[in-house]
Each structure stands twice: as C-alpha cells, then as structure tokens.
Amino acid sequence: MSALASERLSTAADAFTERRRGGGGGDTWTIRGARILGGEVRDLFIRDGVFVDEEVGGAQVVDADGLIALPGLVDLHTHLREPGREDAETVATGSRAAAAGGFTAVHAMANTDPVADTAGVVEQVWRLGREAGYCDVQPVGAVTVGIAGERLAELGAMADSAARVRVFSDDGHCVSDAALMRRALEYVKAFGGVVAQHAQEPRLTEGAQMNEGEVSSALGLRGWPAVAEEAIIARDVLLAAHTGSRLHICHLSTAGSVELVRWAKSKGYPVTAEVTPHHLLLTDDLVRGYDPVYKVNPPLRTQADVEAVRAGLADGTIDVVATDHAPHPVEAKDCEWAVAAMGMLGLETALSVVQHTMVETGLLDWAGVADRMSVRAAAIGSLDGHGRPLEPGEPANLVLLDPSASRTIEPAEMHSRSRNTPFAGLKLPGAVRATFLRGTATVLEGKVIDR
Amino acid sequence: MKRHLLSTADLSADDATLILDTAAELARIADRPIKKLPTLRGRTVVNLFYEDSTRTRISFETAAKRLSADVINFSAKGSSVSKGESLKDTALTLEAMGADAVVVRHWASGGAYRLAHAGWIRSAVVNAGDGTHEHPTQALLDAYTLRSRLGSLEGRRIGIVGDVLHSRVARSNVRLLSTLGAEVTLVAPPTLMPFAVEGWPCSYSYDLDPVLPKLDAVMMLRVQRERMDQAYFPTEREYSRRYGLHAQRMAALPQHAVVMHPGPMNRGLEISAEVADSARSTITEQVANGVSVRMAVLYLLLGGSEPAIGTENEGGAT
Amino acid sequence: MTDGTETTVSPAAPASAAQAAMRAVLDASAVSRALTRIAHEILERTQGADDAVLLGIPTRGAHLATRLGGQIAAVEGLELPIGTLDVTMYRDDLRLRPARAIKRTEIPSGGVDGKLVVLVDDVLFSGRTIRAALDALGDIGRPRAVQLAVLVDRGHRELPIRADYVGKNLPTAQRETVQVRLAETDGQDAVLLGVKGAGAR
C-alpha cells in the first residue's frame, strides 16, 4: 500500500470508527461460513478495520451460511447530484443507497451545480461523503471548466486536494475537441490520473432521443446512432496510444465499441472500459411505450448490442460494471418523452442485474464478478484499500450476498431519494445481506445501519 | 372503458373501412340545410393543441359541432402551457372539467400516447399529430379522398414524395395504405429517408422520374426550408429540380392519376402552382373530406357504450 | 288474428338450431298480398299520391319501400320518388350499445319540402325508431305531412306513435321476437315469431 494511500486510509478510518463506536456492536466480527468469491467456504475475522487470521473473542457473529463474500463493490460512475440537485439525491442518500447495493466506494461524477472543477468543490463532496459515513465517496474532477469543453480545469489542484482526485471526466458531455482531449490525456500523466470519456460525437446526436434504429424510425424519435459513440472511441484510443496516457471509456453500449476496445487492448493501448447494468439487460424495444423511465444517455440499444457487451464483459474487454446511477425527481420523468430527463437509478440493483445477466447465464463466475465490480474499478480509480483480496492484513471492505434470494424491484422501497428505476416490477435474483466498510457494518441483515 | 385513436397501426382493414364508409354517409349532411346531427349532444370534446394549426383544429371543431358536441379549444400560446404548465397538469385539469374526448396535437413524438396511457385522464384520446410520429386522421382522409377518386385501394400504387424522415403524415399513410392493400413507394433524397426504411411495408427510391409513370396517385409532402440549413439538401433549387412536382412531371403521370398534398404547401418548392391548381389535384377535397372523416372517428369512438374502433386504455384511471 | 294456417317455414339461412323454433305467421304469398293492399291504400287515402315520397328505413324498410313503389307504378303507372332514411344518428339508445355502422340515407332529388312523406319500415314496436326518423326528417326539410307504413305492427308502443298503413297487426308478448325475412336480404319472404334469445336480432 502506498504511503499516500495508507495516510488517507487512517484519516478516513479514524473518522468512521469515531462515529461508529458504540453502534452495530463494535469493531470485531466473525463471518461464519461464507463462500469466498463463490468458492471455498471459510470464516472471516475482522478487527480494527482489517481482516485478521484468528477469531476475536467477543466478536459479533454473522451467520453467512449460503452467502457469497465479495470484496466491497466499487462504482466508477455515480451521480450524487450534490451540490445543486439535492431534490434528486444528496451525497448522504446516494451513498446510503450505494451501501444498500453492496458498494463500499463510489466515484461521484462532476456534473454538479457548481461543477466539480475546482479543489473547493471536490473537497466539499469528499467531506460530505465522510460525514455520511456509508461508503467512501471519491469525487471525480471535471476535465474542462464548467464542463463546457473549452479550457482545461485545474486538474492538478484537484489531484493535490484532500479529495485526491485521480479520475477526471466531463461525463454528461463529450470532450469532443480532439486537441483538448489530447492535452487532458497528457496532463494527467503527471499525477497518475485517468481521463474517463463520455463518448458522444455532439454533431451526430443533436436532439437525439433514443438509439437510431428500426424502433426510432417507427416511433418518430430522433436517433442517436452507434457511430456517434464509436467514432469518438476510435479517435480516443489512438490518442491514448499516442500520448501513452490512460483512457477510460464510460458506459460503453454498442457492439462496435466493444470491438474497438478489443482491438486497442490487443495492441497494448492503455484503455479501459465500463458498461452499465441496464445496458446488460434492456433494449430499445422498451421505448415503444414512450415511458421516459427508459430514457438514458447513451440510449438503450439493440439485442445484438446487449449480447456483445455481455461477451465483452465476460472476456474482460470491458473491465468494469459501473452503474451510472442517475437520479431524477418525479416531474422530470412524468411527462412527454422529449422533455424528460435522461438517466436511470442503478446502485441498488447493479449486483442483482449482473447476477441475472452474467452469472446465471454462465458468462461470469463470482470471482469474475468480484473482478469486474470491485478489483478492476479500484485499480482504474487508483483507490487503495478497495478491491483487495479477502485475506488477513487487508482492509475489511466486504459484501455478503444471498444468491438464492429473489426480489421484485419496487421503486417506493428504494433508498435513493429518486424513483426512476427501469427495473420496476422485474423479479431479480440476489439480495445484499451485509456490507462492511473497513470493518464497520453499513448494512446488516439486509438493512442499512444508520448512525 | 374508453379507447383511443393514436396511430394507424391500431386500425385493422375492417376498422379503417368502417371509418371510411361511415365518413361517406356523414359527408352527405354537408348538403343539407341543417348540417347537424344530435348524436354527440352533451358530450365535450377538447381540442388540445400544443402546436399551431388553424386548419386541423377547425376541422376537428367543425366535426364535433356537426355532431352536436360541445367543443373547448385549448391552444398552447398564451395559455398556462406557455407559462410552463406540464402536460400532466393540463391533462388533470381537462379531466376535472369532464372532457369525453381530447383531440391532441403535440410537438413531441409520443405526446398523444403519453396522454392516453399515463393514467392522468379517462377520456378518449384522438391523436391530431404528435411530433414526427403519426397523424392518423390525416391518413384516413387521404385514404378517403383516394377511394372517392380511384375506387378500391386494393393494388393501387401510391407514391409519397418529400421529407419522409420528419413526416408524421408519411408514417401514418404508409401504414394505413398498406393495411388497405395499396402499394406505397417512398421517394426522397437519402438524407430525408428514414433509417431502417427497408423494414417498412413499402418500397423506396431516391429517383422520382422512373416512379411517376406507374403511380395511381402521388402525395407530395411539405419540405421545410430550414432543413437546408441542416444540410439535408444543398439548395431549394436542387431539391425542386430533383424532387419537385412541376407540370412536366405531372404530365408523366398516368391519365387517371391524382396529386395530393396534406398542406400547407410551399408553392414552387415541392409542388408548382400550376400542379397545385390543376384538375388532378385533390388538395381542396382533402380539406372537405377531413371534416367527414373526423366526424366518423368521433362518432365511432364516442357514439356508443363502447367504441367500434381504437386501442385499449390500459393506463386509464377507472 | 293469425292469417291462414300455421306453417313451419325453414328460414333461408338458419343461424342456429334455436332459429328453427321460430314459426312463420306470414308466408311469402301473405307478405305479397299485404304489400299490394298497402299500395292500394296509399293511393286511395292520398287521392292519387301525386306529391308523395316513399322513404324506407334501412335495411328491410328500404326494400319494402322499393317494392311499394313498384306496386304503385304497376297499378297507377305513377313513378313515385323513392329514397332511404337511416336513423342511427338520431336514436335515443346509442349509449346503450357499442357504436354501430351508419347505413345509407338517400333523399330523392326533389327533396321533402312540402311533400307527403311516407316512411316505410318492417316492424313497428316501441315507436322509438320512428321518433328518430321524424327527428332526422326534420333536419332534412319540412314535409307537408308524414305518414307511416309498416309490414307488421306488434304492439307495445312506448311513445305516442301510430302507423297509417299496416300489413299485419300481430299481438305479441314482450319476450317474443318478430323477424321479417325478405327475398332481397334473406332469400325468401316471411314474418317469423319466436321467443327472445332464439336468434334475436
């Protein structure tokens, strides 16, 4: 563990343990009989925020018979809306929803109001996350000032701030100017940063409402063609190679995009990619009812695209599942399609959707889920302490899930402040039984532990 | 339980024929001294127009009044809508006022569908044009006009020319005409042809002249000059030269073929003045037929305990 | 007052076994005689029918009007204007049943203003159809007088309406149903009486 990271770890840990002492039964735990990464059945022992190799006397016991133990999930792409859109979500409600979903760390995207393009705003978000205490909130810094796509934001200041930003993204908008994208990629090398691109050529998607295809043609909705995503990815993987800097592709959604990333990786280019849970399951056919709960950017695509991204996630071309959790207030979705906001909730359903689309179909085993939903995300975000093996000495960031449970998704029961889940009414497998953040239980017996 | 007319996709051949036959009967009252029937007395029809359209609104208003219904006109300009009231709140207001039917024209594709299915209202919804999606009563009056000029539509060859990509009239006509057994050919420059048009129940061509001699009717669509600024075609002159219906092209049509246009026309762009005013043109008949067709639709949706046509109102409050 | 012997006539197109339970109260020749008598009565009571217009209520009333016109032409050599008057849009029971198709209304070219309109229908029952016909007629013009000719009057009037010319008076119970069959629509002429539910119209 780097010096920088362990310093961060102990400051954060102090804050948490300070808050939590006395609630949830203390800092010692025995997890009895869990299937580690879906494999061997073992006990886990936790003391002072780390795994230890011996049971601690007087520890609280969690009966994990039949439960799968995974490293605490890490989301590379979440919108917590604070500051500015607290009517939809706050850092507190969003990180609470994250804990309920099995996450111990989330990266909070920068398209807040004001935009997270200065040290001041990212530190504010970081502090709000610490105070809430449900999971680590790692702010993402904007690439350009105001996400306007014109001038670089003070990336260095954000990197040096208490929030220690390493992931930079104008998500919501594409860094479409090739020269600016090149400069951003070059600049972040100085502090080991990564630029996360929202790939959407603006000129090909003006006024776009949904995927361009048979359905958009029949419905009379302006199309968002796959090429608008692929053209930017094609350009940016070449820029990543040219600059020798890390590029991460946000919410990759088309078969063509998967092929481009596969090619880039085969050439050894420093490229990583994420896919959302909704793009693993839902298609543009759902738009036929004009229900704006299915309106999202990038849009839902075709069945062929769904199968391609699943295959890409299975073979590792796509590195992580990232939720792109995008809460919206009711009035932003209870209206005509054209005026509705784009975005879907994701934190509380991600693990179930991955189980349904990847594990139950045999495309990925639980070790693979751990890799795609925790290990790699932590690596891409340079987030030490997360995505670690469940071994003595490692921080006790852990999620226990019951794979045999199933639940019908009910919007009114979500922990998020918003209700825009596209999975409403669907029966999905799996339920989070417990989440531990550095040895503190944030979820126990399926319920969030509030301080 | 109310039902709606949202899309020509909801009409079977029997439904469509019933509407056209009913319209034919209702057309006769236009010749009477008293142009009124008592059938919808006591019913309230609301015209909810989010887009300006004097012609269509008046057509629906006349249709409703000829059936003795009460008509309330609600247009977007200068109303609560222009002050930011949502579609939902407007709908709830209409429901509270007891509207039996809402005729809605909306600039957003799917606007009529949302109004019908979001659970805000119980009234029957008639789509008077939603964005670039559908305009079912226009297609019905076009089919009616064609039928009255050509007889049965089975096997008839109809050309639709112009900005198909942005045209709700084209979408509705393609569906309805193919349901009634006609063969439709779309003609447009590639930039104005819809994506995935290969899957539509019609053929298509980028070249107008070879298509004309085979047609029984040609329908010219309005082309917006603003499309030129968005690079859909380079100049009006080029568009008109390649796709405009001028006298020379009209002469290439078979003797019996008719020329249609849903209006409003850009004289000189997609259609020349000479053609628009010729005996082959059905443009003014289309307007008259619109009233009869809309009377038929309102009667068949509202005139009984249950409608004779239309889709289910799954989302309706009961 | 049944007319002649009761014969069981199998209807031209029996829709169900239940329809065989209908019995004929008028056979083809009885229908024909009744129509001939009505034609003569019209000529007599209107003193030559020179300003008369026959309007049949579709479907069967229209065919009967055509036949009456033919009879009158045969007897007097007078070609009366014949038309049809569909009353669907004027019915008072529209909201009780699904919206139904409208049939043809064809007013002869001379119009109805100042004329003697003779409405023709097959069965007179509650009188509501004729009430609707009077309303429809009122929106078309102003006849100098309106008379009514029906093939069968089965009683049970719900409105103060009466027929001027009746082919057959047929007292019935409410639960019974009367069906007229005509060669033009059903292959042969007959008037059938049965119990409601047995192929009721």
Q: B residues 244-263 near C, CB within 8 Å?
A: none
Given A359, A388, A417, the domain boundary residue is A388
Residues with Cβ within 8 Å of residue B277, at least 6 apart in sequence: none
Q: Does B207 touch chain C (CB under 8 A)?
A: no
Residue A13: the pLDDT is: 52
C98-to-B198, B244, B307 alpha-carbon distances in Å: 39, 46, 6
Q: In this structure, are strands C176-181 and C165-169 parallel, antiparallel, or unpaired?
A: unpaired
CA A195/CA A182 separation, integer angstroms: 10
Residue to mutate among A210, A211, A290, with most B CBs inside 10 A, is A290
Beta-carbon neighbour count of residue A389 at 10 Å? 13
Provide, rounded to the nearest whole percent, the portion of chain B with pLDDT above 70.
94
CA B293/CA B300 separation, integer angstroms: 11
Q: Count of domains in chain B?
A: 2
Tens of pLDDT, residue by residue, chain C (201 residues) = 334 444 444 445 555 555 557 899 999 999 999 999 999 999 998 887 789 999 999 999 999 999 999 999 999 899 999 999 999 999 999 988 888 899 999 999 999 999 999 999 999 999 999 999 999 999 999 999 999 999 999 999 999 999 999 999 999 999 999 999 999 999 999 999 998 765 444
At residue B150's C-alpha, the angle toward residues B146 and B151, to 5°, is 100
Contact state of A337 with B114 under an 8 Å Cβ cutoff: yes
Chain C contact residues (CB < 8 Å to B): 86, 89-90, 94-105, 135, 139-141
Residue A397 maps to a domain: no
Answer yes or no: is pLDDT of A414 > 50.
yes
Same-domain status, B127 and B142: no
Complex ipTM, two decimals?
0.85
- Domain residues for the domain of A21 are 3-67+402-448
Q: Which chains touch B (3 or more CB pairs under 8 A)?
A: A, C
Answer yes or no: is pLDDT of B313 > 70.
no
Tell me which DSSP letter residue C50 carries.
Answer: T
Kindly report the CATH number assigned to the domain that includes residue A290.
3.20.20.140
Contact state of C101 with B307 under an 8 Å Cβ cutoff: no
Q: Does B38 touch chain C (CB under 8 A)?
A: yes
Question: Which tokens in the block code for residue B172?
Answer: 């509705």
Task: Inspect the structure and tell me whether chains A and C have 3 or more CB pairs less than 8 Å apart.
Answer: no
Contact state of B197 with A219 under an 8 Å Cβ cutoff: no
Dihedral sign for Cα atoms in the order A86, A88, A93, A99: negative
Same-domain status, A60 and A142: no
Q: Which residues of B touch A209 (CB under 8 A)?
A: 109
Residue B317 maps to a domain: no
Answer yes or no: is pLDDT of B228 > 80.
no
- Taking the CA of residue B101 and the nearest CA in chain C, the distance in Å comes to 15
Q: Which residues of B touch C86 (CB under 8 A)?
A: 25
Same-domain status, A177 and A272: yes
Q: What is the mean pLDDT of residues B21-47?
A: 92
Residues with Cβ within 8 Å of residue A203, at least 6 apart in sequence: none
Identity of the residue in C86, C98, C105 whose CB atom sits nearest the CB atom of B306: C98
Q: Does A404 touch chain B (CB under 8 A)?
A: no
Residue B97: the pLDDT is: 87
Same-domain status, A168 and A137: yes
One-letter amino acid of B213: P
Question: Which tokens in the block code for residue B244?
Answer: 């405009």
Nearest CA among A401, A417, A369 for reference residue A80 = A417
Kindly report the CATH number assigned to the domain that includes residue B241.
3.40.50.1370
Nearest CA among A237, A395, A254, A251 for reference residue A326 = A251
Same-domain status, B183 and B265: yes
Same-domain status, A151 and A261: yes
Same-domain status, B225 and B207: yes
Contact state of B196 with A334 under an 8 Å Cβ cutoff: no
Residue B82: the pLDDT is: 66
Type and span of the H or E element at A352: helix A350-354
Same-domain status, B117 and B199: no
Given A363, A388, A413, the domain boundary residue is A388
Same-domain status, B199 and B293: no
Same-domain status, B29 and B55: yes
Residue in chain A closest to B91 (alpha carbons) equals A335
Residues with Cβ within 8 Å of residue A175, at least 6 apart in sequence: A143, A144, A149, A181, A184, A195, A197, A198
Kindly report the CATH number assigned to the domain that includes residue A431.
2.30.40.10
Answer yes or no: is pLDDT of B1 > 70.
no
A245-to-A175, A206, A233, A249, A377 alpha-carbon distances in Å: 16, 30, 15, 13, 17
Residue A132 maps to a domain: yes
Give the three-class secondary structure for A254. Answer: coil
Mean of pLDDT over chain A: 94
Q: Which residues of A touch B117 (CB under 8 A)?
A: 289-290
Same-domain status, B98 and B193: no
Same-domain status, A48 and A171: no
Catalytic residue among A324, A334, A402, A450: A324
Residue B81: the pLDDT is: 65
Same-domain status, B141 and B252: yes
Task: Inspect the structure and tell me whether chains B and A have 3 or more CB pairs less than 8 Å apart.
Answer: yes
Same-domain status, B7 and B58: yes
Answer yes or no: is pLDDT of A5 > 60.
no
Residue B72 maps to a domain: yes
Contact state of B108 with A337 under an 8 Å Cβ cutoff: yes
pLDDT digits (tens, 9 = 90+) for B156-181: 999 999 999 999 999 999 999 999 99
Identity of the residue in B25, B33, B34 whose CB atom sits nearest the CB atom of C102: B25
pLDDT digits (tens, 9 = 90+) for A96-154: 999 999 999 999 999 999 999 999 999 999 999 999 999 999 999 999 999 999 999 99
Same-domain status, A279 and A207: yes
Same-domain status, B8 and B118: yes
Judge whether A228 and A252 are in contact, CB under 8 Å.
no
Mean of pLDDT over chain B: 91
Same-domain status, A262 and A332: yes
Same-domain status, B162 and B259: yes
Same-domain status, A161 and A53: no
Identity of the residue in B86, B107, B200 whose CB atom sits nearest the CB atom of A335: B86
CA A91/CA A126 separation, integer angstroms: 9
CA B200/CA B207 separation, integer angstroms: 18
CA B32/CA B100 separation, integer angstroms: 27
Identity of the residue in B111, B171, B200 whose CB atom sits nearest the CB atom of A336: B111
Domains of chain C: 27-166+179-190 (3.40.50.2020)
- Domain residues for the domain of B239 are 137-282
Residue A395 maps to a domain: no
Q: Does A213 touch chain B (CB under 8 A)?
A: yes
Specify the range with the lowest mean pLDDT, choosing from A26-35, A282-291, A313-322, B210-219: A26-35
Residue A25: the pLDDT is: 40
Provide, rounded to the nearest whole percent, the portion of chain A with pLDDT above 90.
93
3-state secondary structure C119-177: EEEEEECCCHHHHHHHHHHHHHCCCCEEEEEEEEECCCCCCCCCCCEEEEECCCCCCEE
Residue B56 maps to a domain: yes
Chain B contact residues (CB < 8 Å to A): 86-88, 106-111, 113-114, 117-118, 130-134, 168, 171, 194-197, 199-200
Residue A307 maps to a domain: yes
Same-domain status, A417 and A377: no
pLDDT digits (tens, 9 = 90+) for A145-167: 999 999 999 999 999 999 999 99
Residue B230: the pLDDT is: 81
Q: Is A324 a known active-site residue?
A: yes
Residue B79 maps to a domain: yes
Nearest CA among A7, A2, A5, A14 for reference residue A438 = A14
